[in-house]
Amino acid sequence: MEHLIRSTISCSFTTLTLAQINEDDILCMLLLKKPHDRTLDDLEIIYEELLHIKALSHLSTSVKRELASVLVFESHAKAGTVLFNQGDEGKSWYIILKGSVNVVIYGKGAVCTLHEGDDFGKLALLNDAPRAATIVLREDNCHFLRVDKEDFNRILRDVEANTVRLKEHGQDVLVLEKIPTKSQAADGTMQSHYKYSVMAGTPEKMLEHLLETRLDNTKSEETTDSFLEDFLLTHVIFMPTEKLCPALLSYYDAKSLKTDEQDAGDYGLTQKKSVVQFVQEWHNLAEDIFNEDEQVQVFLQELHSYVDEDCASFPCLASELTVLEGMMSCEKGFQFINTPEVGKRRISPSVMLTKKMANELYLDSINKKQPIKANDENIVKIYCADHTYSTLRLPMSSSVHSLIEHAREKLGLGSEELVLCEIKSSGDRVLYKEDDLCVTTGLSLNGLLFISPRKHLDALTPHPEQEGPSIGTANILELLSTKEIAYHMTIHDWQLFICVQEYELIYQVLGRSNFNKITANLDLFLRRFNEVQYWVVTEMVLAQNVGKRVQLLRKFIKVAAHCKEFQNLHSFFAIVMGLSNIAVSRLSQTWEKLPGKFKKMFADFETLMDPSRNHRVYRLSVSKLTPPIIPFMPLLMKDLTFTHDGNKTYFDGLVNFEKMHMIAQTIRNVRICRSRRLDLEPPNTAKSSTEVQDYIRNLQVIDNQRVLTQLSYKLEPRRT
């Protein structure tokens, strides 16, 4: 080895003795040679030197050997030299051999310093994105190893470090991890390569990363990068609207358009445009919420005025202005388009209402229901221990505290400590916390709200009306076809389902009161599941003779089959679970008389509900359906709860974006289910459709399992 070094050195620097030359200098000298001039001995020496470089330590021997033949030495004499600018195209990856550099970001200044052994510049290469920062020399005479893009792609792209941590002021701000992605090549074949995906970050840095490097991906063929959508679907958790809007404005504002700041003019313009593009994507993704949120509206106006101002000097921003104006006018039109009643749609009187138009309007009314909103009036019935009640009219978003205070005033209850609780039909009590929200929509089926001084809580008993019906409705059901029952159930479920706002899932699982947001629409949809389930059990145990019960059993199985056909898995599951309830499943005399065909059908349904391997059968079968689908919502809620309980939202002060991705995945499932409107052919019906609709929408049930089981035993006593 020593003779090799000596011979190499002697040829170029004969005046130096070995003792005067340190290893770095040797490496520098060898790397100054053009790659194709390097001899095998040179490569061996370079390779050995590479073994000591921190940034390369994770690479395999063969990769290091390949690097030895392509690495280029680059040095700069003066502090302040700019290696490259933020927004530039990425051409190389660098390792610092000697000296240090500052990482500078527009609007933030120097965010961190990198030293000997550190590397930089691979984000742009791996993500095919512009440079995320400017690199400025911090001292004179800095030395770098450089790998140019082509070599980087050939040798390193697939083997480069899996995790990249970006720091600002000594703190991690973004953690990226390399994941394989697939894209379609020009010849149609799928190619896999890698890109850095966000694992964790501060909300602001993630937003910055998104605006700077990720927006264009939505337009390319690469469909695997869901960062933007994940961010928008989950931002309420880590960067709620009241934080997101100012962050976007300040990002827009920080981007200088002054041309004296190192090419910042063009760069700033691109970034300003990216804010508008982001807002447009946001609008596309969450139009309803976007249009309804007052903060967003104020923000839109503000952004519009910024863009308008810039437009005077930079006319190329005119298209951004048009985009914003489009969104703003859309917001005005929204109320009009969304009017729930068909009758309120503006139709020119001179136009005859053709059958096709009537059908269109009907479908519109099915597919465009108004969700319950925070400011909507909520009529709250609050009972006292003596079963008298009082009715309050308060906004949907009222907290328990405010309900109590209003009730106190209305009922003249003095200054005693009062509590609000739910009394279930079983007599069980659920006490509410003062900051709870949406208690009315969250009540159990026959549950009622009670108010009481804390010390008299024990005196509360259920109201007789909570017991539910004592006579079944088999006579009504007899007159209805199973298809028509399933049809009206599906329309009702669909309307409840489309009113559920996606963020409600997040509020529900992560805790409404943490967000101070309502979940009323989701509550009602989930409540409907229980309603259908208990309706089935109630009807079965209220059918007095075995013949009636067999008839009902057949009917419910057929209704379930139609629901399945309509892809209404919510009610399908509810019915099958109702029939599997112990109060029904134990009615052996009834089941014995059920024709084999129905037994087989039911057995197949039960297979679909098999919870083993995380509901694999159900998940597989849903994945084969095309929307519209009404999903088995409790399972989606369970998935979200698992994701939430099993993963921290933050670690080391950074948002755990992997968790956000998982949450977004479940929300995406909901989106897919309703990505197409429901368009069912109404069945021929003997009864008036409003009558059927009324029946289906007002199911009366017994929701006390003990009572249901007792009734079941009365019908078919235990066999001795």
Residues found near ligand CMP in the complex (CB under 6 A): 90, 103, 111-112, 120-124, 131-133, 166-168, 173
- Least distance to ligand CMP, CB of residue 150, Å: 16
**Cα–Cα nearest to 116, from 53, 166, 70:** 53
Sheet strands side by side (includes 134-137):
82-84, 134-137, 101-105, 109-114
**Cα–Cα nearest to 708, from 530, 583, 544:** 583
How does DSSP classify residue 467? Answer: G
- SS3 of 256-274: the string is CCCCCCCCHHHHHHHHHHH
Q: Specify the residue, 209 or 517, whose C-beta has the smaller distance to ligand CMP.
A: 209
Q: Specify the residue, 120 or 487, whose C-beta has the smaller distance to ligand CMP.
A: 120
CB atoms near residue 295 (< 10 Å): 13
Q: Specify the residue, 111 or 403, whose C-beta has the smaller distance to ligand CMP.
A: 111
Residues whose CB is less than 8 angstroms from the CB of residue 359 and which lie 6 or more positions away in sequence, other chains included: none
- Least distance to ligand CMP, CB of residue 281, Å: 22
CB atoms near residue 643 (< 10 Å): 18
- Least distance to ligand CMP, CB of residue 213, Å: 8
* Cβ atoms 447, 423 nearer than 8 A: yes
- Least distance to ligand CMP, CB of residue 57, Å: 17
- Least distance to ligand CMP, CB of residue 49, Å: 23
Query: Measured between alpha carbons, how far is 574 from 699 in angstroms, rounded to an integer?
Result: 13
- Least distance to ligand CMP, CB of residue 162, Å: 15
Q: Specify the residue, 168 or 484, whose C-beta has the smaller distance to ligand CMP.
A: 168
Q: Which amino acid is at 107?
A: G
Q: Specify the residue, 176 or 520, whose C-beta has the smaller distance to ligand CMP.
A: 176
Q: Specify the residue, 120 or 618, whose C-beta has the smaller distance to ligand CMP.
A: 120
Q: Specify the residue, 132 or 553, whose C-beta has the smaller distance to ligand CMP.
A: 132
Q: Specify the residue, 105 or 445, whose C-beta has the smaller distance to ligand CMP.
A: 105
| DSSP per position, 386-426 | TS-EEEEEEETT--HHHHHHHHHHHHT-TTS-EEEEEE-TT
Q: Specify the residue, 133 or 542, whose C-beta has the smaller distance to ligand CMP.
A: 133
70 three-state secondary structure: coil
Q: Which residue is nearest to ligand CMP (CB)?
A: 124
* Cβ atoms 434, 417 nearer than 8 A: no
**Cα–Cα nearest to 550, from 514, 588, 512, 503:** 588
Q: Which amino acid is at 138?
A: R
- Report strand pairing: 418-423 vs 448-453: antiparallel
- Least distance to ligand CMP, CB of residue 266, Å: 17
Query: Measured between alpha carbons, how far is 263 from 256 in angstroms, rounded to an integer?
Result: 10
Q: Specify the residue, 167 or 429, whose C-beta has the smaller distance to ligand CMP.
A: 167
**Cα–Cα nearest to 488, from 685, 213, 703:** 685
Residue 132 CA to its chain's centroid (Å)? 26
- Least distance to ligand CMP, CB of residue 28, Å: 23
List the structure tokens of 66. Answer: 């390949």
Sign of CA dihedral 12, 14, 17, 20: negative
Sign of CA dihedral 674, 679, 680, 682: positive
Query: Measured between alpha carbons, how far is 358 from 466 in angstroms, rounded to an integer?
Result: 41
Q: Specify the residue, 168 or 502, whose C-beta has the smaller distance to ligand CMP.
A: 168
98 three-state secondary structure: strand
Task: Return the bridge partners of 138, or none.
Answer: none
Q: Specify the residue, 13 or 194, whose C-beta has the smaller distance to ligand CMP.
A: 194
- Least distance to ligand CMP, CB of residue 214, Å: 12
**Cα–Cα nearest to 174, from 222, 144, 229, 213:** 213
Q: Specify the residue, 72 or 374, whose C-beta has the smaller distance to ligand CMP.
A: 72
Q: Specify the residue, 105 or 633, whose C-beta has the smaller distance to ligand CMP.
A: 105
Residues whose CB is less than 8 angstroms from the CB of residue 649 and which lie 6 or more positions away in sequence, other chains included: 237, 238, 510, 655, 656, 659
